[in-house]
Structure 1
Amino acid sequence: MYLRQGDWSDLFRECRSEAFHLEVRDDYAVPVESEPFRRFLNNEPDDYEWFRDWEALVEELTGRGVRVSRIRVVTVPHTDYQRWSLVVAFRNVEAGEDIRYLPRHLAGEVPTDDWWLIDNERVAFNLVNRQLKSAGVALTTDPRIVEYCQGVRQRLWKLATPHAEYAAREAS
């Protein structure tokens, strides 16, 4: 099943227990992030207004007991985008999301696509075009794919480092 961008937040609002995100790309081209990323590169301040909708969604989910977590598999040294993402992630954590980092060279084999595992029942693949811009979401409940994603999450979670610890290590 293919979802339009507008259906994305509905997918999360239907979530009952857990939303897990695997991120495997080092760079993204998300339109709402373009200006904040440019500010970061130019050492300009950011008011994070562009991030408020995601924070509110995470707070809504965690407020009703849904666990929101993510692993970022990153190349070291980090790309500019990943350096920026590491800085911004403190907002995710403050909203209630558990973000962990795993250097690519320690991860072993990882999928080539980003995805969300929702309630251990559905997998939502983040589709992107050649310019790395969002092209929608492909949703599946295929038990083999769900089981594969569960296994990837379990294996990588054991290897990944919580955001605060990883950020402190990278800052030193």
Structure 2
Amino acid sequence: MPSNVPTFPELLAGATRSAVHLEMRDAYAVDYEKGPFAEWRSGHRHDLADRASWWRAWLDLIQETVARGVVVRRARIVSEPVSEYTRFLYDGTFTNVAAGEEVRWLPRRQASDIALPGNDFWLIDGRLIRWNHFTGEGASAGGEISEDPAAAKLCGDAFEAVWARAIPHDQYTIH
């Protein structure tokens, strides 16, 4: 990862109003999820009542960010029927919601006429983009930072268009 790309704690610490995240892949193979995905595949599910078993540093970071008044939203564009990996994400999303993230799901067929950027991204305060690059197999290929106003507008407009059509997590049923 280039040295000018802040860590996620640094990125979210700089947010003052909003942090939005658009995910558009049906599978990710990021290193930190390999263990939890394998455990999920073998039948492990988080127990909502046993917060200590699933709370982790990422959720602390989201909770701290939201407590400062930053609105954190995540939208996922998914193919249906959903992939096994999307089922894994769906089953664990209640943890993100418990931390204060707002999460919505948009079936890919409903996104056909939305102009979307070529990569997943985080957009901080409508101006700072952290592009998330992935290999063809879904492994992280590092991030990239941009403050290009035109790209930020594209990301903001795309996210809001997806958000307006997407289904809140507690109402979305996976197919």
Q: State TM-score, norm by structure 2.
A: 0.88
1:111 maps onto 2:117 in alignment: yes
Which shifted more, 5-14 or 71-80? Answer: 5-14
Which structure has greater helix proportion?
1
Amino acid of the structure 1 residue aligned with 2:31: P
Q: In structure 2, which of residues 122, 132, 137 is the aligned counterpart of residue 131 of structure 1?
A: 137
1:135/1:119 CA distance change after superposition, 3 Å: same
Q: 1:114 touches 1:126 (CA, 8 Å); kept in 2?
A: yes
1:122/1:4 CA distance change after superposition, 3 Å: closer
Aligned to 2:28: 28
1:89 maps onto 2:93 in alignment: yes
1:135-170, Cα deviation, whole Å (9 max, x unpaired): 22111111110111111112111100000000xx33
Which shifted more, 132-141 or 112-121? Answer: 132-141
In 2, distance between residues paired with 1:31 and 1:135? 11
1:100 maps onto 2:108 in alignment: no
Flag structure 2 segments of 5+ consecutive residues without an equivalent.
none
1:163 maps onto 2:153 in alignment: no
Percent identity of the aligned residues? 35
Amino acid of the structure 2 residue aligned with 1:151: D
Count of equivalent residues: 169
Flag structure 1 segments of 5+ consecutive residues without an equivalent.
none
Which shifted more, 148-157 or 109-118? Answer: 109-118
In 2, distance between residues paired with 1:84 and 1:38? 10
In 2, distance between residues paired with 1:86 and 1:113? 21
Quote how far apart the aligned CAs of 1:33 are.
1.0
Aligned to 1:59: 63
Q: 1:15 touches 1:119 (CA, 8 Å); kept in 2?
A: yes
Q: State TM-score, norm by structure 1.
A: 0.89
1:128/1:161 CA distance change after superposition, 3 Å: same
Aligned to 2:74: 70
1:115/1:6 CA distance change after superposition, 3 Å: closer
Quote how far apart the aligned CAs of 1:3 are.
4.7
In 2, distance between residues paired with 1:4 and 1:30? 21
